[in-house]
Amino acid sequence: MRNSVLVAIGGGIGSLSRYEVGQWFALFHPWPPLATLAINVSGCFIISILHFVSGPSERIYLGPRARLFLLIGFCGGYTTFSTFSLLSLDAIRQHKWLDTCANILLSHVLCLVAAWLGYLLSTPFAVSLVKTSRFLRRKRLARARH
């Protein structure tokens, strides 16, 4: 039961984040697939970093509940593959072939690149975070001794 609650809360936060990002993009660009594309690309980047940094054999192990909350809950609520599919289908139905191809091609290529970048950055990020954490802990212990 607790796991379901974690996924639901993470999903709610992810969905609200997706909504806000979509609203922000609508202010600057009238092409609806652009917001969905940005959300899917950033979602692929986020889920990749979280997955590769926080696994059981990695330097920063968040634990199974935190991973449920972040990877399944937040990222699942945040990314919008179903919206991507619907927008693509609507573009096909309206015979907007250039929009359809651009949306499908850009989404797949950029999301794959974002996931790859997340993977590449996850190890240096984890090492840097661990070093910073250890440094701050030593500094706090040194202050406590004085």
Predicted TM-score (pTM) of this structure: 0.69
Reported for 61-66, long-range contacts at CB under 8 A and 24+ positions apart, including other chains, are: 65/2, 65/3, 65/6
Domain ranges of the chain: 2-145
Residue 17's pLDDT is 96
pLDDT score for 50: 85
By C-alpha distance, which of 98, 96, 10 is closest to 47? 10
Residue 8: half-sphere exposure toward Cβ, Cα within 13 Å: 5
Confidence of residue 74 (pLDDT cuts 50, 70, 90): very high
pLDDT above 90 covers a percentage of the chain that reads 42
The pLDDT assigned to 16 comes to 98
Show the tokens assigned to 17: 């984040």
For residue 127, pLDDT over 80 is answered with no
How far lies 140's CA from each of 10, 127, 135, 146, in Å?
Answer: 32, 20, 9, 10
Euclidean distance between CA atoms 38 and 21, whole angstroms: 9
